Structure 1
């Protein structure tokens, strides 16, 4: 089968390996946010589609048999748009969506629905790690001014940090020891993150170890479509489409 894999997560890479091994023709599509992403074991395109019509045209011309959407759980534009296009073209669509993180008894989480709620849980003069990605920095601008903010990003940049604080450059995966060093070195008092789920939870384990509060943004509503939590589940779904 010819598959368009909307990629960008570790699950996407694992699915690409499984599908290619099973003999499927897979094209991975990356948004191009990271300069040097880890290579995929299948042909890969980089960059956005250029809007809904351009993506629709791309899918029509590609004559794909299925779409596996393994983008980030907070990909609130490309995921719903891809689902709508798939429905319009009558192409089977699956959302590969890893389970969300859950708090343990020793965690100090404050769950919020929107970035605007974060300030309610973070006092003035706090030193805050925004583990939310550089692309979403503006969403948390309401915390600026009275607090010192730090934001982690993968690639170095010449763009000045827009608030008091600064960038933290680092490429995952991170160990708990790495995260403890970052938190202590910047004297972080609060962590803000999105509930992305997956294995990259060392920052949460480090926060638990240091007794730091975490302001956790909950996920967008679940999509109304077939969902797989693991690449193996996605492969089982794909195999039901074989004729």
Structure 2
């Protein structure tokens, strides 16, 4: 599903990649130890069968795929053994990705454990946008999963919210389709100064951080969109918000 670009992210309600290296490593370690991990929830729209939007599990899916592609190692410095996975090997040979290293790698047995691991998966068939929004909001009502701004923006569809997202994307420099393949997420995600993941948007180079208006972590949590919304709202209402 990943290599065939059948997994998609809808930027209307999904956040960027925000997991730390430690969180990614812990997930991979859990899989290698055969521990249970939370289920992945996808939506298949009636008008687009065979194409799946990720409702819950974006960070987990990205972490597993990123480990297989060699973008990070385990705590002990070992990377995924790409030769143990023919599909990944073909994509590597084709230049689709470049692992950081293949010198220190996990064993063939460990690679097999990871590849054979069964992820719990649920698919909403013939899901409408309203149903997807409702489910996403319910999932993220529990615990600290999204920042407050991300919660406010998720699922909102009107001209004002669309304008805010579009302006914020242009200022950050991460203009892209509103619905994009999972593999493209690093292109619109924030690389923080102290925790670099190789993402394309460098926090220090974005206007809000350059001018000292927001911290890099604020940018990661989409507070730039709140700034854009406040400025636009003040202009429209004639009152400072």
The normalised TM-score by structure 2 is 0.27
> Greater strand share, 1 or 2?
1
The normalised TM-score by structure 1 is 0.27
